Amino acid sequence: MDKILEVKDLNISFHTYAGEVKAVRGVSFDLNKGESLALVGESGCGKTVTAKSIVRLLKEPPAEIKEGSKIIFNGKEDVVKMSKKRLRSFRGEDVSMIFQDPMTSLNPTMTIGQQIMEALMIHKGMQKNEAKKETIKLLETVNIPNAEERINHYPHQLSGGMRQRVMIAMALSCNPKILIADEPTTALDVTIQAQIMDLLGELKNKFNTAIILITHDLGVVANFADKIQVMYAGEIVERGNREEIFYKSMHPYTWALLNSVPRLDTENKEQLYALRGTPPDLILPLKGCAFSSRCEYAMEICLERKPVETRLSNTHSLSCWLQHPDAPKVNRAEVLRGEMNE
């Protein structure tokens, strides 16, 4: 498979009055053509920052992409070093993004037709009539009924699900090779969430677009993502394909994520597994494993030294000292049966 995106040793800091916040620390991953990748983690773990840096949407300063970070698009271009002019065409044509809150990401003073046409006219140099026809076609692709009428509507006249469809239509207007979806369904109801996720899946197959899905909900990922990366405090702590993360995951944080959501298909009335405490403050210097303060398997070495990445298979790897040959063995099956009480 062809690599469409390679992120190498990405380090991003924010300079604030309180000090330097190291939001993303040494993140590397690949994305193949037509593949779907999920970034999972709690708020503040750096998943959105990682995604935004791919489109260079972070405001610099206060953000700073550290030296040595590489985001290679299509095997040749480094996004970090792109000129402003190239970035303008890069965004939209090559990579586009949809956001969590569709109300604040659409312009309230323009009809949705104008907003989609604008992209087509600028990027593809279409004439107005042509762009209008294309817009109607796009809105039909994302299953918006009465598209011809809808293009004259303003965002406030649409429901949340409709607005998110408009965002998707706009993002797809120039056939991008990568679509970044930042919590696209968090603001929506479950029934609408199912519709939107189905739509994203359909479009992925139809246009062979690679999708980066950012979410905190492992459920959404279960039937969508090819690859999953779990992030914690600015680092990828475990990565693998669907089966590996859901059935063979070995990182205590991934277990905690899997365990802390009650499941519909089991009748388990026991206490939910709740992680102690909160994620670390990234302004303070981190020593050892970032998760060690909340991890119940933490050993002395976890507090002292950062774990190295262990490869379990070609696709599955994690950073945890429990993988060290001398570490005590933890029975995964027992942990995931919900016996991790406070």
Partner 1 sequence: MSNENLIEVVNLKKYFNVGKNKILKAVDDVSFNIKKGETLGLVGESGCGKTTCGRTILGLYAATSGHVYYCGKDVHAMDFNEKIKFKKNAQIILQDPYASLDPRMTIGEIIGEGIDVHFKLTRIERQRRINELLDTVGLNQEHASRFPHELSGGQRQRVGIARALAVEPQFIVCDEPISALDVSIQAQIVNLLVRLQKEIGLTYLFISHDLSMVKHISDRVGVMYLGSMVELAPSFNIYQKPLHPYTKALISAIPIPDPKIEDERKRIKLEGEVPSPINPPEGCKFFKRCVQATDKCKNVSPQLKEVEKNHFVACHQC
* CB nearer partner 1, residue 94 or residue 235: 235
- Range in contact with partner 1 (rule: CB under 8 A) among 51-59, 120-128, 260-268, 303-311: 260-268
Per the CB < 8 A criterion, the answer to whether 181 and 213 are in contact is: yes
Q: Of all helices (H) and strands (E), which one includes residue 27?
A: strand 19-32
Contacts of 155 (CB under 8 A, 6+ apart): 102, 103, 106, 107, 108, 112, 163, 166
Residue 267, token pair as written in the block: 């009748």
Q: Compute, in degrees rounded to 10, the torsion defined by CA atoms 274, 276, 280, 286.
A: -120
181 belongs to the binding site for partner 1 (CB under 8 A): no
CB of 92 to partner 1, least distance (A): 28
For residue 115, give the 3-state DSSP assignment. helix
Q: What count of Cα atoms within 13 Å lies in the side-chain half-sphere of residue 85?
A: 0
Q: Determine the size of the site formed for partner 1 (CB under 8 A).
A: 44
117 belongs to the binding site for partner 1 (CB under 8 A): no
Cα-based distances in Å from 164 to 104, 170, 187, 270, 275? 11, 10, 10, 37, 33
* CB nearer partner 1, residue 18 or residue 190: 190
Query: Which of 43, 205, 314, 331 touches partner 1 by CB under 8 A?
Result: 43
CB of 155 to partner 1, least distance (A): 15
Residues 229-258 that bind partner 1 (CB under 8 A): 242-243, 246, 256-258
Per the CB < 8 A criterion, the answer to whether 193 and 164 are in contact is: no
CA–CA–CA angle 232, 235, 239 (5° rounding): 85
Residues 261-320 that bind partner 1 (CB under 8 A): 261-265, 267-269, 271-275, 278
Spatial separation of the C-alpha atoms in residues 300 and 108, rounded to whole Å: 55
* CB nearer partner 1, residue 43 or residue 109: 43
Per the CB < 8 A criterion, the answer to whether 321 and 289 are in contact is: yes
CB of 193 to partner 1, least distance (A): 7
CB of 26 to partner 1, least distance (A): 23
CB of 55 to partner 1, least distance (A): 25
Per the CB < 8 A criterion, the answer to whether 214 and 183 are in contact is: yes
The single-letter DSSP state of residue 187 is T
Query: Which of 149, 189, 334, 339 touches partner 1 by CB under 8 A?
Result: 189
Contacts of 304 (CB under 8 A, 6+ apart): 287, 288
* CB nearer partner 1, residue 8 or residue 216: 216
Residue 228: φ, ψ to 5°: -125, 135
Query: Which of 46, 92, 102, 161 touches partner 1 by CB under 8 A?
Result: 161
Residue 328, token pair as written in the block: 């005590």
Residues 212-231 that bind partner 1 (CB under 8 A): 216-223
12 belongs to the binding site for partner 1 (CB under 8 A): no
Amino acid at 238: E
- Range in contact with partner 1 (rule: CB under 8 A) among 95-103, 116-124, 128-136, 191-199: 191-199
Residue 265, token pair as written in the block: 């298909």
CB of 262 to partner 1, least distance (A): 4
Q: How many CB atoms lie within 10 A of CB 269?
A: 6
Residues 192-211 that bind partner 1 (CB under 8 A): 192-195, 197-198
* CB nearer partner 1, residue 195 or residue 323: 195
* CB nearer partner 1, residue 127 or residue 341: 341
The single-letter DSSP state of residue 335 is I
Name the site residues for partner 1 (rule: CB under 8 A).
Answer: 42-43, 159, 161-162, 189-195, 197-198, 216-223, 242-243, 246, 256-258, 260-265, 267-269, 271-275, 278, 342
